Amino acid sequence: MDTAFPVCGIVAEYNPFHSGHMFHIRRTRESLGGDAVIVCVMSGNFVQRGDFAVLDKYARAETAVRGGADLVLELPLAAALSSAEGFARGAVALLHGIGCRYLSFGAETADISLVQQAAEALNALPPAAGNRSGLSYAAYRQQELAALNPAAAALLTSPNNTLGIEYCRALRDFPMQPLAVARRGAGHDEVAPADGFASASLLRGYLREGGEERCAPYLPESSIEVWRREKARGAAPVTLPEGAMLTLLRAALFRGALATGSADGFDERCAAAVYSAVSFSDAVEKAQTRRFPAARVRRTLLRAALGISPDASPLPSYARVLAFSARGRTLLRRQDGLPLIVKPVTEKQLPDALQPSLRLDAFADDLFGLARPAPLPGGEHYRKTPFYLT
């Protein structure tokens, strides 16, 4: 698909969409020119840390378009609940499939040459099957990389740098040019604002505690407006339903479906934790170790509860549209690659090969709907439509 304007992708969760995200979009457009089309691939209702998003995916996509994005697509569910490597591979493949020629990401270190060096060095490392160090997979790879390139290995101490490196690793299979935008203000998971910016984790805490007024200095006005609207209709804040999730996990354990195929004792540890736990969080606490970090445990348990196969590919087989602007609609009209889903009600007309994945999407969305303050009946997935900013 040829376009007369630059098309740039951004991978995000926007959980919630805050001022730092808007800064990233603006800087990306400044670097490419005012006619650039910004396409965001966003995690849906479940996010990479293994949790329910604080707000429905369509509402979060709306805040992104109101904040400067032109098109928001949903990251495949299997990719959204994958490690950094699978998350990046699925996102980059989807952006390439929609016609992006650039990929912009935020990083603590905006030295793109160093990020690419780290990516190339990691790609050159042999498989980590021999990890008997007691370290997590990520820490073990960082240790290996440090022996080859200490400066590149140092980048892996930051989650945003780590994702940037994974994006560049994924780009070896796709003709896209990376752009690194230096992050400003509070870092990942920081517990206090800095330089007028706050971390998404801090803002989620405020929102879930009913303190949206504390978020006001760090969220665009449009994000505050969308949040208040959704809260008023019982759609926010969404929190993980501890008891219901443990029930689903016990059922998965009974069916023998609580498995990842890992040969390092991880599956057995998760199974024992689920059997003895009294809540989802308790299972995470019981299963996690230095080698098996909480994020890996949470993703594994959430995948099992949702019924995502351990070998499910993170790569996209269709593109689900969540929100778009007039400029984004122009790009959609030129799309001739992946099947597009604009209105979910049309999903049943798609090829049979796509139906299992589409049904899983619907199940996941229905489960998310039950976690709202005002729970929804089943089938809401098919009644949703993308937000369009005229």
Please name which of 271, 309, 310 lies closest in space to residue 292, comparing C-alpha atoms. Answer: 271
96 labelled ligand-binding: no
Q: 234, exposed or middle or buried, with CB in 10 Å at 0-12, 13-18, 19+?
A: exposed
4-98-177 Cα angle (round to 5) = 70
17 labelled ligand-binding: yes
Q: How far apart are CA 41 and CA 11, in angstroms?
A: 5
387 labelled ligand-binding: no
Q: Would you say 329 and 388 are in contact if contact means Cβ atoms under 8 Å apart?
A: yes
85 labelled ligand-binding: no
Looking at residue 127, the DSSP 8-state letter turns out to be P
Q: How far apart are CA 49 and CA 200, in angstroms?
A: 12
Indicate the Cα dihedral angle 230, 240, 302, 157, nearest 10°.
Answer: 90
Q: Would you say 134 and 290 are in contact if contact means Cβ atoms under 8 Å apart?
A: yes
23 labelled ligand-binding: yes
223-226-232 Cα angle (round to 5) = 140
Rounded alpha-carbon distances, angstroms, from residue 346 to 201, 312, 352, 358, 376: 35, 24, 13, 11, 21
86 labelled ligand-binding: no
Q: How far apart are CA 188 and CA 18, in angstroms?
A: 13
316-168-34 Cα angle (round to 5) = 85
39's torsion region: left (phi>0), alpha (psi -120 to 50) or beta? beta
149 labelled ligand-binding: no
13 labelled ligand-binding: yes
21 labelled ligand-binding: yes
3-state helix, strand, coil in the chain (%, to 5): 50, 10, 35
161 labelled ligand-binding: no
Phi, psi of 317 (to 5 degrees): -115, -5
Please name which of 341, 258, 374, 242 lies closest in space to residue 306, comparing C-alpha atoms. Answer: 258
14 labelled ligand-binding: yes
106 labelled ligand-binding: yes
Name the β-bridge partners of 321.
Answer: 73
- In our burial notation (b when 16+ CB lie closer than 10 A, e otherwise), range 251-270 reads ebbeeebbbbeeeeebbebb
16 labelled ligand-binding: yes
Q: Which residues are annotated as a binding site?
A: 11-24, 106, 160, 183
Give the annotated binding-site residues for ATP.
11-24, 106, 160, 183
